[in-house]
Every structure is written in C-alpha cells, then in structure tokens.
Amino acid sequence: MGDSISKNLNQNVETLNSIFKDCDDVNYRFIEIGDNNKTEACLVFLDGLIDKHLISEYAIQLLLTNSKGDDSSIISLKSNLLDTLAKESIAVPGVEEAESMDEIVDAILSGETILFVDKASKALILSSRGWPTRGVAEPETETVIRGPRDGFGETLKINMTLVRRRIRDPGLKIKTTKVGRRSKTEVAVMYMEDIVNDKILKEVNKRLDEVDIDSVLDSAMLEHLIEDNYISAFPQMDSTERPDSVAASIYEGRVAILVDNSPFALIVPSTVGTLLQSPEDYYSRWTISTVVRLLRIIGIFLSALAPALYIAITSFHPGLIPTRLTYFLGASRINVPFPAAVEAFLMEITIELLRESGTRIAGPIGSTIGIVGGLIIGQAAVEAGIVSPLMIIIVAITTISGFALPSYELASGLRVWRFILMGLASVLGLYGIMLGIVVLSTHVARLESFGIPFASPYSGLGLQEGDLKDTLVKAPIQKLQLRPVFTFPKNKRRMRKR
C-alpha cells in the first residue's frame, strides 16, 4: 500500500474496499457538499469503534447544512477546500490531515473517521474514538482501606487522564509510540522532565523501539520483551492498576509505561524495595506501616522456606529444635505413611492445584475460596491419617504469606523457588536449603532493572543515603524529604524543611 490519496473519490473508495475486503464493519457514508457544484464526499469509519453521535451531529450534519454556503469558495479544488471545511464546517474537536493510505488505514482501525472529498489530494481524519469501556472501577488486585479507588481501564487515553489528574505540572511529559507490527498497540511513556534521569529514559525509549513483534496484547507481554533478564523467575518492573501508584512513582523520578488495552501500567526502574511497597503504606500511619513492612519481609522468608525447613528438620536434623517440639513433631507424624518430603510435595502440589482451580472459578475471590476449601480437604486428610496436621498448618502459612506480598509476580517467583528449595532440602537437608538460598541471593544480586541493581537498597545502592527509610520500614513523611537514590533523579528534594 503506502500509496498516496487519489483525487478521485471513487478510486479512494475502491482502494479502501479492496484493503478492507471482508471487513464488514467498515462503513461508507456518502454525502454531497455544496448546493450548486455538488462535490461528492465520503465518510469512512469502523462501526463500533466510533462515537456515532459525535460524527453525525458535529460532522455530517454540519457538512450537510453548511454546504448551502458560499459556492464560490467550493469551486477551488485544492486542499484549501479541506482547510476551509475543517475550519468552518466541522465541529469535531480533533481534525488532522492525512497524506497517505497507510495513515488512513491506521486511523480507521483506531476508531477515527475519514472524510474523503472528491478532487482533494488529501483527506481529513476526524477524531471520533468511542468504544465500549467498563468505566473507571476499583482495581481488583490492589485494594486499600483508605485512599483513592479509581483504577485503570483498558483505554489508554482514559488511563493517561487519570494520571494527569494527579500531576498538574507541565513537566509531566507523555510520549506515545506504537508497538507491534500488526497490533499497532499504542504505548505511552510518562515521566517528569525535570526529575527523571535522562539515561534511564533513553534506555526505555531505546528498548521500546527495538521491539519487533506481531502483537502486544498486554503490558505483561511488553514487560517480558523489554526487561533485562527474561529468564529469571522474578519481575524486574513494577506493574500496578492504580493511578496513584503511577503518579507517586513519577514523582520519585521513575518512568511509567502505559499500554493500550491493558489496565496494568509498568513502572521502571524497580527494585526489591519497591516491589514490597504498597500504596496503603503511605495512607496509613507510619508505625503500623513499619510493622506491616517488616511483616512482609517475614512473609518472603516464610513463603519460600517454610516447607523446605519442615522437610529438613523432620528428616535430617531433629536435633535442631527444642526437645519438647521434637517429641511433639514425632508424635504428630506417627502413623503417616509417607516420608516428610513426599508429604510436603503432595500437599504443596495440592494447594497449587486448588489455587489454579480457584482462579478458574472467579477472579481473586475464587482463590480464597480455593484455599479455604483446601483447608477442609486438608482436615479430612489429617483425619484419615495421610498427612500430619503440622504439614497442613505449614502449607497454609506458606500460601498466606505469599498473599501478604503486594506484588503478585514476586510471590509467584517465590513459589517456583519454594519447590526448588524443597527439592534441595529433601536431598541435603539444611545444607541444601542454605545452598539454595545462597544461589537465590546471588541471582537477585545479579538482576538489574534498566541499569539499576535490582537488590537495592539492600545491596549497597542507597544504603548510606537512607533509602532503607522507605523500603525496610516506613519513616514518617517528614523524614522523607529527599527522593530515593536509586532513580538518580535530577532534582533531589521533594519537601521543604518546616
């Protein structure tokens, strides 16, 4: 394609017909402009993608009525015609000129309306997007007790608006590109010009440019295409449904990437510290937020280690726990027919199956039902004597600690490692677990997120400057007057001293 627009209306319509052959939702509306020298015009649009009300009232109607105006101006067959039309007869807010068929095809597929006028060498693109959306609803995966409840939808423009509402600074820049050869998904990169670090921004843009794939269906796919290490089990970018999270990250000097058709925004760069932050921490008081953050760290360890430790202690080192606990452990496992490792694997696999089935039932709520159901099954198994009650408790604690983490992806990564650690524990006991932990820590130390070490601030970047104040604990806002170091912001101060 790529041809230019012909001056003959019918030829243009023919071209479009052949491109959109068998696309029955492409509509052609022919009108005539002008009373005397009736010039033929045609509006092409995709039914369902446009706001029909807008086009009919503010374009078609006005064109039809206005054509009763000055005939003499209509006689000139240059693009002046289009210009005049645009300036005097069309009330649609967004009007552009199109110069090639490619632009026109893209525009139609994006929900714009094209206005062809006979004998004009260009065409007009009228912005008319309007498709069914689910509106601005509460984000389902990240709810807070106190704080705003609007969440992203699938429409890029609405999402951008939600963020704009929270940043009324002209320094907030939004640059859009298209990603995906066939999907041509619109991607918006948002950042604060005078805070963001230029190198990171450049890297983001560079990676987006390098993506060459048919389609990008969700921000997750984009994330996997542009992240530093796609093999790792851990995410290297934050993803959130909440516009206030995005706004807060932009204020810290990070870059947000919004993808059309996806309610999840990506935030770059991210670290272990940020993956453990939740917007709730900032809306609650600092003491409870500190406790909760520390609890999350405990949650990480429990989620990855609990079953493995159980296996190690039961099968290899009963000497490592106090005596009374050992006897109790022995007593609880008396008639269980399986060795501890098999028991643990069985129960863990059962829980994972329950989780999967819970997801099929209905959203995240179904997951909870699955877990509770699992506990009932577990109880029955204990009564039958197949597993020991301690195992049920451990499995339950493990799963619940996984849910205590704000980042679902991080918890999923830990789920994988949990099985690896269990395997190591079954062969080499506590030593195996430690080897696993050590390799896991090295792996996390190696990860980088757009050049920023992923394990900051625990691994050195920002330790001295006090980044721990906002990751390990939650210091009161009066103490957080400087932006975090790991984003290397140009402007370091965000709060004046009182």
Partner 1 sequence: MRKGILIILCLSIFFLVGCWDKVEVDQRAFVSSMGIDLNDKDKMNRFIVTYEYPNINAIGKNATEDTKTFVVSTPSSSIFQAGRKFTTSVAFPFYYKHAKVVVLGEDLANEGKLVREIIDELNRDTKINKKIQILVSEGKAIDILRANIKQDQTTDGIIYTALKGTNNASRFIPQTLMEMIKDADYSGVTLVPKIAKRGKEVVISGGCVMKDYQHIAWIGEKESRSLSLINGKTKSDTIDVPYKDSIVSYAITDVSSTKDVRIDEEIIVDIPIKIEGYLQGYIEGDDRTVYDDEVLKDMEKVIEKFMKKEIERTLKLIQDEYNADLIGIGEDLSKFHHRKWNKIKDRWDEIFPEVKFNVSVDAKIRRTGLIK
Partner 2 sequence: MEGKNQISNEQIKALLITTVIGVGILSLPSDVAMILDTGGWVAIVISGLLIIPFIIIINELFKMYPGKSFFQIGEEVINPVVFNLFLGIVLLYIVVSLSYGIRVFAEVIKAYLLETTPTEVIIITMLVAISYIARSQIEVVARMAVMIYPIIIGFIIFLVLVNLPHMDYTNIYPIFNINYKGIPKGIFTTFFSYTGYEILILTFHLSEDRDKSLKYSLRGLFTVMGIYLIIFFITLSQYGIFQLKREIWPSIAIVKEVDLPGYFLENLDGIVMAAWVMVVYGTMGPFLYSSGIVLSNVLKTKIHEVFIPFFLPIIYIIALLPDNLVQVDEIIGPTLNYLALTSIFIIPTIIFISAYIKRRKKA
Nearest to partner 1 of 89, 332 (CB atom): 332
Q: Does 297 bind partner 2 (CB under 8 A)?
A: no
* Helix ranges (DSSP H) in 87-137: 101-110
Binding stretches for partner 1 (CB under 8 A): 313-316, 318-319, 323-324, 326-334, 336, 339-341, 426-429
Our CB check for partner 1 shows the closer of 331 and 376 to be 331
Give dist(CA 156, CA 240) in Å, integer. Answer: 14
Binding to partner 2, residues 172-211 (CB under 8 A)? 197, 199
Residue keyed to tokens 């983001």: 204
Binding mask 415-454 for partner 2 (x = CB under 8 A): -------------xxxxxxxx-xxx-xxx-xx----xxx-
Residues that contact partner 2, how many (by CB under 8 A): 39
| Least Cβ distance, residue 426 to partner 1 (angstroms) | 6
Closest CB to partner 1 among residues 336, 468:
336
Is the Cβ of residue 18 or residue 335 nearer to partner 1 in the bound state? Answer: 335
- Are 169 and 192 within 8 A, CB to CB? yes
Q: Which does 116 bind (CB under 5 to 8 A by kind): partner 1, partner 2, none?
A: none
How many degrees, rounded to 5, is the angle at CA 84 between CA 79 and CA 88? 160
Q: How far is residue 215 CA from its own chain's centroid?
A: 16
- The entry of partner 1, partner 2, none that residue 334 binds, CB within 5 to 8 Å by partner kind: partner 1
Q: Please, which residue, 79 or 315, has the CB nearer to partner 1?
A: 315
d(Cα 388, Cα 66) in Å, to the nearest integer?
Answer: 83
Nearer to partner 2, 152 or 310 (CB): 310
List the beta bridge partners of residue 209: none
Q: What does the alpha-carbon distance between residue 365 and residue 372 come to, in Å, rounded to a whole number?
A: 11
Half-sphere exposure for 176 (CA within 13 Å, toward CB): 11
- Of 128 and 197, which CB lies nearer to partner 2 in the complex structure? 197
330 binding partner (options partner 2, partner 1, none; Cβ < 5 to 8 Å by kind): partner 1
459 binds, among partner 2, partner 1, none (CB under 5 to 8 A by kind): partner 2
Q: Are strands 113-117 and 39-46 parallel, antiparallel or unpaired?
A: antiparallel
With respect to partner 2, which residue has the nearer C-beta, 346 or 428?
Answer: 428
Quote the CA–CA distance of 469 and 248 in Å, as a whole number.
16
Query: Least CB distance from residue 316 to partner 1, whole Å?
Result: 5
**What's the longest Cα–Cα distance across the chain?**
104
| Least CB distance to partner 1 at residue 388 (A) | 9
User: Under a CB-based contact definition with an 8 Å cutoff, are residues 221 and 468 in contact?
Assistant: no
* 279 within 8 A of 314, measured Cβ to Cβ: no
CB atoms within 10 A of CB 76: 11
Residue 460 binds which entry of partner 2, partner 1, none, with Cβ cut-offs from 5 to 8 Å by kind?
Answer: partner 2
Place of tokens 């994330």: 223
Write the DSSP assignment of 12-80 as a string of letters: HHHHHHHHTTT-TTEEEEEEEE-SSS-EEEEEEEETTTB-HHHHIIIIIHHHHHHTTS-HHHHH--STH
Closer residue to partner 1, CB minimum distance, 84 or 326 = 326
Binding partner of residue 363 among partner 2, partner 1, none, CB cut-off 5 to 8 Å per kind: none
Residue 464 interacting partner from partner 2, partner 1, none (CB closer than 5 to 8 Å by kind): partner 2
Give the separation between CA 364 and CA 360, rounded to whole angstroms: 10
Which of partner 2, partner 1, none is residue 199 near (CB under 5 to 8 Å by kind)?
Answer: partner 2
Among partner 1, partner 2, none, residue 315 binds (CB under 5-8 Å by kind): partner 1
Asked if 317 touches partner 2 (CB under 8 A), the answer is yes
Q: How far is it, in rounded angstroms, from Cα 240 to Cα 82?
A: 44
Task: Give the residue with the Cβ less far from partner 2, 109 or 430.
Answer: 430
Best CA proximity match to 486, nearest among 328, 270, 304, 238: 270
In whole angstroms, the minimum distance from the beta carbon of 302 to partner 2 comes to: 15
Residue 77: contacted member of partner 2, partner 1, none (CB under 5 to 8 Å, by partner type): none
The residue with tokens 């064109």 is: 63
Q: Where does this chain bind partner 2 (CB under 8 A)?
A: 197, 199, 313, 316-317, 319-324, 428-435, 437-439, 441-443, 445-446, 451-453, 455, 458-461, 463-464, 486, 488
